[in-house]
Amino acid sequence: MSSKKELRIGMVGYGFMGRTHSNGYRRVGNFFPELEYQPVLKAICGRNLERTQAFADQWGYESVETDWRKLIARDDIDAIDICTPNNMHAEIAIAAAEAGKMVLCEKPLARTVAEAQPMVDAIEKAGVPNTVYFNYRRLPSVTLAKQLIDAGKLGKIFHYRANFLQDWTISPELPQGGEGLWRLDNDAAGSGVTGDLLAHCIDTAMWLNGGIKDVSAMTETFIKERVHTGTGEKQEVTIDDACMFHCHFDNGSLGLFESTRYARGHKALYTFEINGEHASIKWNLHDLSRLEYFDHRDESQERGWRSIHVTDGDHPYMDKWWVPGLSIGYEHSFVHQISDFLKALQEGKPCSPTFREAQETQKVCEAVLESAKTKSWKDTGVNW
Amino acid sequence: MSSKKELRIGMVGYGFMGRTHSNGYRRVGNFFPELEYQPVLKAICGRNLERTQAFADQWGYESVETDWRKLIARDDIDAIDICTPNNMHAEIAIAAAEAGKMVLCEKPLARTVAEAQPMVDAIEKAGVPNTVYFNYRRLPSVTLAKQLIDAGKLGKIFHYRANFLQDWTISPELPQGGEGLWRLDNDAAGSGVTGDLLAHCIDTAMWLNGGIKDVSAMTETFIKERVHTGTGEKQEVTIDDACMFHCHFDNGSLGLFESTRYARGHKALYTFEINGEHASIKWNLHDLSRLEYFDHRDESQERGWRSIHVTDGDHPYMDKWWVPGLSIGYEHSFVHQISDFLKALQEGKPCSPTFREAQETQKVCEAVLESAKTKSWKDTGVNW
Amino acid sequence: MSSKKELRIGMVGYGFMGRTHSNGYRRVGNFFPELEYQPVLKAICGRNLERTQAFADQWGYESVETDWRKLIARDDIDAIDICTPNNMHAEIAIAAAEAGKMVLCEKPLARTVAEAQPMVDAIEKAGVPNTVYFNYRRLPSVTLAKQLIDAGKLGKIFHYRANFLQDWTISPELPQGGEGLWRLDNDAAGSGVTGDLLAHCIDTAMWLNGGIKDVSAMTETFIKERVHTGTGEKQEVTIDDACMFHCHFDNGSLGLFESTRYARGHKALYTFEINGEHASIKWNLHDLSRLEYFDHRDESQERGWRSIHVTDGDHPYMDKWWVPGLSIGYEHSFVHQISDFLKALQEGKPCSPTFREAQETQKVCEAVLESAKTKSWKDTGVNW
Amino acid sequence: MSSKKELRIGMVGYGFMGRTHSNGYRRVGNFFPELEYQPVLKAICGRNLERTQAFADQWGYESVETDWRKLIARDDIDAIDICTPNNMHAEIAIAAAEAGKMVLCEKPLARTVAEAQPMVDAIEKAGVPNTVYFNYRRLPSVTLAKQLIDAGKLGKIFHYRANFLQDWTISPELPQGGEGLWRLDNDAAGSGVTGDLLAHCIDTAMWLNGGIKDVSAMTETFIKERVHTGTGEKQEVTIDDACMFHCHFDNGSLGLFESTRYARGHKALYTFEINGEHASIKWNLHDLSRLEYFDHRDESQERGWRSIHVTDGDHPYMDKWWVPGLSIGYEHSFVHQISDFLKALQEGKPCSPTFREAQETQKVCEAVLESAKTKSWKDTGVNW
């Protein structure tokens, strides 16, 4: 392993995403041995020293920081990985870019288009390698969908529909704000399900089916007040608990999107379906090793939705793992994104989605929220 | 059987729906022997004498007519069943009601709210028993959903979503108009998927979840021109090929509806899902003997979507059929609706959905089409 | 309809099977109008006059009999349909054949091979049209399996496995014997699950995959004693509650069969799966409109089990029913078998399975029971 | 991490299982930080130096050996992990035990009961911690099944059935012997599907349902000759391509097992189902995050098979991974087994399955093969 180039990682944030990214960095070398770069977990940064140290011990980070500005200032760090709540993405990313660091940022890029724009500008001005963790693209089943579409198997697309359904905020007793619950706090998150869940759906959709032109949306906040963990007081809830919209894609197909945290019985049910002239595709995150595929060109008596178990050696990424029939899981999407980032690095190419692409997703999110607020159609201004 | 009262049926139209209704009348006595009324297939009416006679022979109608006015004028007919294209519903129903006949009408009630209003007025003025064939309510799995909801199992409802997906009009070679294809001809049908498919979804939705208050919709016509069977010429297609809308229900829940005939791989995939505070329900027409049910009150480790095979003796209507595990099919929904009509008749009660209720569904359809046209939210004016 | 030839039916027995057969006779003309023969429900025979009359009223039988010998003696009856418990099949069938009547017999043919042999002899000596109701063959999904196999789609067959799982006898409180419960009484039934359930599996298997050569079996009676309805006393249970066997088919493939009435959660879960060199097939009765099909010749990345919704116009029998996507049910298998019987009649051909073929199934059942008893392999002596 | 005790691993074999075990050792510390022991990858041993070194580089082994005797002789190794073909298990395990090393052995324990016995003896004489990698027990869904059974949810068990279906040896062109294909070579493997696949099914079955008393089996070798990679010559194939058996468990329930590598369409479809008096369980490896559960005590109208997505924090092992709805994969079963081994080590308890328990599984395998050969029932002699 001594012949490998080191990519020295400095990570900010050690929550849920801190774990998924750390795991990605630690696993990638075992399964993608051909890569020239080997990530090294140089430093983890968090405000609480004790907990940051515990995380460092658990994951093998060489050092800890409690001030992200110091982390960025260090010479022995090549890349900054941002796993903080959304409201800190911009400041950290801009500072990192200005310091010449590569930046890998958790999604969504920012809380608003306005907040994201200087991030994109700074990244592009600095010319540093960058990516945003819309990790679901890198599940083998989703990548296979992309390959089938790009190979023209579906023909002209008529419909794209996606849902992201959860049920974890139904109880009115759940507070907003604070660790693990900042996603319910509009100041920290920027929005509710739109930025947290629909952003994933929108990224996948535009990757698979091209730009979204205009949208008509509706949002709802079912629980109007929750105790805020910070203040201990009941406060108005200002995030969107649920959001749904229909839209036109640039290619003339129709989109239908929905997300909620009030769909009892669904934990993280991200689903999408694409209907084309010749074939259709269905997918869901709860059964992530499967892709459902219908091909109208099959002999008519034998046509049916095919349940493809995406675990063969010729399926995307799967030659790196086990043998046919043996599934991988959610976390592998991060290993794959990091592998793709390292490969892009050695080839001198961008790793999609870049900050610029993530900004386009941000534009759709914002148009959606604006449409819901004004009860009118909104152009997204997306340039995909 | 001699002790039964006869209900003498005169049917107009012998297409697909003529067959489903005829089968309903012929089967009901074998499986619901306790009913006081026994339908008698007195006359079938169609414009083409030869084909009408063939249908009469096949189904055992005692006589044929080629002019529906004559049918209505006959003394030996108690009830008129309307299975014509939509553009003829109003005239026939009004004349039948004025002649004091009971009226059973295929859905949608009419092409527009304006066309439907005098139908409702005539029926109510005449005070004749009436029903509209929104048959899917009477599938045991759907009726079970109604029972679970009415028993309060779901608690407060947050979300209702329904799709009706087909794929039979994707080919541009398919003509519009004429037998079997009048559903593509706006003059005959009044709309495309909205009246044909979404009307079903809306009827079920309001039956299960109450009135729909306002809607925001989008429609599309993918194939702009088709040869018209009547003229042999290419003509503009003016129906909606696809329609989707979101909405508010009176109870505060959010609705999301979609229908299309361009969803490759789906033949008649009517689906709905309802998410409540405590429990959720999912259903689809392709697997019509099943109801999916999730109950959050189950012990936490053992919670999961239950796939209920709705074929037990204590499931709605199923004591009339076979033994547990043995499915019934699509056609049985009509047998059940006719059974319910006959039972309501003997009890002197209305049989839901009545013309008045079907008019409320018509209002939603019209608001949907109007919303799509004007790209704005529309109140439905529904009084459920 | 006057131009049709009448086939005058005299039925013995009005239980569950009496209903399915009666329904078949009444529906066949509506859906298979091209047939030359039209069944006429001439007489129903049962020991209890009142109940027999009620059944006649419900189903439209023209007359009733309480002695099956009188029924057979009548000149106005063309065909005897036997729906009695198994222990009466032989006597009735032989008498009917000797009287020159056609015979349609519910399965299993008899309680034993020895009991069945004179039935076959009498039928063949009389030369009367005959069939045994192994109805599951006539479900469109099962017939489609047959067509795929006969077209060579599967190639050489390696494996055949079938289960028939129920759970209705788990309670020790359930009595044996008497109406509806004669299936638990060895005198009436001849065996437990072997004749009741495995007979179906064996018939389908040999129809699809050829003769079964030898078997090795195990049976179990979980509840050793049950009250007998006849005597009111606790008596030994002598039927098999569960039976499983493996076997060789004549074509070299391996078979695995299991049946039980103690599989909690399964009502009538008849399943089979066939694995061939090139393709495989799976089927289950709870989802009877579907056939699962895997074709290894599909492009490798896109291979998956296809869930075929067997409701298209080019699927077996389905041109007679509704439109694509709309399911039929269990009862339709009987309509199809009667339609096939009538068609065979007009063509002067046998209608499979004949008594002779049903006797081969009987041989396998008997070898299975004998193998279980002797704990050794048994040749079946089947000549398929 | 410095406070942890090291467990210094010496692994023999770097094939498929070498990878799964290595991954387990490397990940366990990240996800089970509370463990006192931390595995250290001290040495990997293989015959081919270059490839062994490449493996060491990829997985971070500190050193390499080409002679397993030298590995065992090293002072800096605490535990020997055996990932060789089956024919080498005995010699290595015995030597390791005699040298006082802990032993973790890939399944099956050996090729025969006779070969395994001295392994058990040596291990027990040495008193060293030991385990055999029947990894599927440690999938959360399978462990949940165990918990439900142990909690008495199923009540008295009637049926246990398991399949392990693959399709990778259908082509006659596939050779036997050599790397990756030693599983087709009886000398190396000891048997075909019985030791490779059914051994898994048997281990899970006895863990969940207790000892297997007697068996009646059938085996088949479909392809009689294959080129041997070693000799380049066509040689007789002496493994079992397919094996099926029925059996009695000690608790009176009936078992049915089948395995084959000729089930087209199934890659690694290990399935089991257990039917109890009150409830039933179904599971399959292709959808390993799900457990199907039917509880007869549910209200009768709402009963159905529950599809439990085993990804909640209160599901076995799942508090260590991500959030509800996000799946883990196949490889995690090894992480869990290693975690359980380390936990047992710190508690001074055995880690099931031990060599002794694996020997009981071996006995069933041997009885199965013997039964097939002699075409008779065999007692297993199992003491569970």
Mean pLDDT for each 10-residue chunk of chain A (384 residues)? 86 97 98 97 97 97 98 98 97 98 98 98 98 98 98 98 98 89 92 97 98 98 95 94 98 98 98 98 98 98 98 98 98 98 98 98 98 98 94
Which residue in B319, B327, B332, B333 has the most chain C C-beta atoms within 10 A of its own C-beta, making it the best mutation to test that interface?
B327
Cβ distance A58 to D269 less than 8 Å, yes or no, reads no
pLDDT score at A1: 46
Q: Are residues A64 and A74 in the same domain?
A: yes
C-alpha distance across the termini of chain B, in Å? 39
Segment A180-237, tens digit of pLDDT: 799 999 999 999 999 999 999 999 999 999 999 999 999 999 999 999 998 899 999 9
Which residue in C302, C303, C309, C310 has the most chain A C-beta atoms within 10 A of its own C-beta, making it the best mutation to test that interface?
C302
pLDDT score at C278: 98
Q: Are residues C130 and C144 in the same domain?
A: no
Q: Nearest-CA distance from D289 to chain C in Å?
A: 19
Burial C4-13, CB ≥16 within 10 A → b, else e: beebbbbbbb
Partner C contacted by D174 (CB < 8 A): no
Segment D242-289, tens digit of pLDDT: 999 999 999 999 999 999 999 999 999 999 999 999 999 999 999 999
Which residues on chain A are in Cβ contact (under 8 Å) with B275? 165, 167, 260, 262-266
For D77, the token pair is: 């190794």
Q: Give the 3-state secondary structure of residue D177.
A: coil
Band of pLDDT at residue D178, cut at 50, 70 and 90: confident
User: Does the pLDDT at position B329 exceed 80?
Assistant: yes
Q: Are residues B299 and B238 in the same domain?
A: yes
Whether residue B49 lies inside any domain: the answer is yes
Whether residue C165 lies inside any domain: the answer is yes
Chain D residues 73-102 within an 8 A CB cutoff of chain A: none
| Mean pLDDT score, B241-256 | 98
Q: Are residues A74 and A183 in the same domain?
A: no
Segment C134-167, tens digit of pLDDT: 999 999 999 999 999 999 999 999 999 999 999 9
Alpha-carbon span C193 to C315, nearest angstrom: 31
Q: Are residues A109 and A141 in the same domain?
A: no
Q: Are residues C145 and C66 in the same domain?
A: no
- Over chain B, what is the mean pLDDT? 97
Band of pLDDT at residue C178, cut at 50, 70 and 90: confident
Q: Nearest-CA distance from A293 to chain C in Å?
A: 8
User: Does the pLDDT at position C38 exceed 60?
Assistant: yes
Cβ distance B322 to C16 less than 8 Å, yes or no, reads yes
Neighbouring CB atoms inside 10 A of D112's CB total 18
Partner D contacted by C223 (CB < 8 A): no
User: Does the pLDDT at position D16 exceed 90?
Assistant: yes
Q: Are residues D146 and D131 in the same domain?
A: no
C-alpha distance across the termini of chain A, in Å? 39
User: Does the pLDDT at position C179 exceed 90?
Assistant: no
What pTM does this model have?
A: 0.98
- Over chain C, what is the mean pLDDT? 97
Query: Nearest-CA neighbor of D295 among B288, C268, B298, C242?
Result: B298
Cβ distance D328 to A332 less than 8 Å, yes or no, reads no
User: Does the pLDDT at position B105 exceed 50?
Assistant: yes
User: Does the pLDDT at position C363 exceed 80?
Assistant: yes
**Category of B22 on φ-ψ map: left (φ > 0), alpha (ψ -120 to 50) or beta:** alpha
* Closest chain B residue to the Cα of A294, Cα to Cα: B265
Number of domains in chain A: 2
User: Does the pLDDT at position D2 exceed 60?
Assistant: no
**Which residues are registered as beta bridge partners of C72?**
none
Q: Are residues D264 and D310 in the same domain?
A: yes
Segment B157-196, tens digit of pLDDT: 999 999 999 999 999 999 998 877 999 999 999 999 999 9
Q: Nearest-CA distance from B362 to chain C in Å?
A: 25
Cβ distance D246 to C218 less than 8 Å, yes or no, reads yes
Whether residue D384 lies inside any domain: the answer is no
CB D59 within 8 A of CB D44: yes
Which residues on chain D are in Cβ contact (under 8 Å) with B304? 291-293, 306-309
pLDDT score at B1: 46
Count how many pairs of residues, chain A against chain D, have C-beta atoms within 8 Å.
Answer: 112
Which residues on chain D are in Cβ contact (under 8 Å) with A54? 33
Partner B contacted by A258 (CB < 8 A): yes
* Beta-strand runs (E) in chain D: 5-12, 37-45, 63-65, 79-82, 102-106, 130-133, 157-165, 212-220, 225-227, 234-236, 242-249, 254-260, 269-276, 279-284, 290-295, 305-309, 378-379
Task: Give the nearest partner residue to D30 out of A16, A59, A266, using CB atoms.
Answer: A59
Alpha-carbon span B77 to C259, nearest angstrom: 53
User: Does the pLDDT at position D12 exceed 80?
Assistant: yes
For C141, the token pair is: 């999904």
Question: In the listed set A136, A157, A184, which residue is the last one of a domain according to the structure?
Answer: A136
Query: Nearest-CA neighbor of C211 among C249, C253, C157, C154?
Result: C249
Q: Are residues A124 and A203 in the same domain?
A: no
Question: In the listed set C87, C119, C135, which residue is the last one of a domain according to the structure?
Answer: C135
Burial A36-70, CB ≥16 within 10 A → b, else e: ebbbbbbbbbbeeeeebbebbbbbebebbbeebee
Amino acid at D190: G
Whether residue B205 lies inside any domain: the answer is yes
Band of pLDDT at residue B230, cut at 50, 70 and 90: confident
Partner A contacted by B291 (CB < 8 A): no
Partner D contacted by B295 (CB < 8 A): yes
Q: Are residues A57 and A111 in the same domain?
A: yes
Cβ distance D144 to B305 less than 8 Å, yes or no, reads no
pLDDT score at D230: 87
| Mean pLDDT score, B292-300 | 98
User: Does the pLDDT at position D365 exceed 70?
Assistant: yes
Whether residue B341 lies inside any domain: the answer is no
Task: Give the nearest partner residue to B306 out of D148, D305, D314, using CB atoms.
Answer: D305
pLDDT score at B2: 56
Partner B contacted by C139 (CB < 8 A): no
**Category of D122 on φ-ψ map: left (φ > 0), alpha (ψ -120 to 50) or beta:** alpha
For C347, the token pair is: 């063509």
Alpha-carbon span B146 to C270, nearest angstrom: 30
Partner A contacted by C306 (CB < 8 A): yes
Segment C324-341, tens digit of pLDDT: 999 999 999 999 999 999
pLDDT score at A2: 56
In chain C, % of residues over pLDDT 70: 99
Whether residue C384 lies inside any domain: the answer is no
Q: Are residues D189 and D143 in the same domain?
A: yes
Question: In the listed set A136, A168, A202, which residue is the last one of a domain according to the structure?
Answer: A136
Chains that touch C (3 or more CB pairs under 8 A): A, B, D
Between the alpha carbon of residue A139 and those of residues A104, A145, D66, the distances in Å are 18, 10, 38
Partner C contacted by D287 (CB < 8 A): no
User: Does the pLDDT at position D1 exceed 70?
Assistant: no
Whether residue B317 lies inside any domain: the answer is yes
Alpha-carbon span D137 to D145, nearest angstrom: 10
Partner B contacted by C324 (CB < 8 A): yes
Q: Are residues D39 and D150 in the same domain?
A: no
Please, which residues have CB within 8 angstroms of residue A241's CB and are 6 or more apart in sequence?
A169, A192, A193, A219, A220, A221, A222, A223, A260, A261, A262
Chains that touch D (3 or more CB pairs under 8 A): A, B, C
User: Does the pLDDT at position C1 exceed 70?
Assistant: no
Cβ distance D328 to A324 less than 8 Å, yes or no, reads no
Partner A contacted by C146 (CB < 8 A): no
CATH of the domain at B173: 3.30.360.10
Question: In which domain, by residue range, is A244 found?
Answer: 137-379
CATH of the domain at B79: 3.40.50.720
Amino acid at A266: H
Helices assigned H by DSSP within A45-129: 49-59, 68-73, 89-98, 113-126
Query: CA dihedral defined by D143, D147, D153, D154, rounded to 10 degrees?
Result: 40
For B132, the token pair is: 């509209």
Whether residue D358 lies inside any domain: the answer is yes
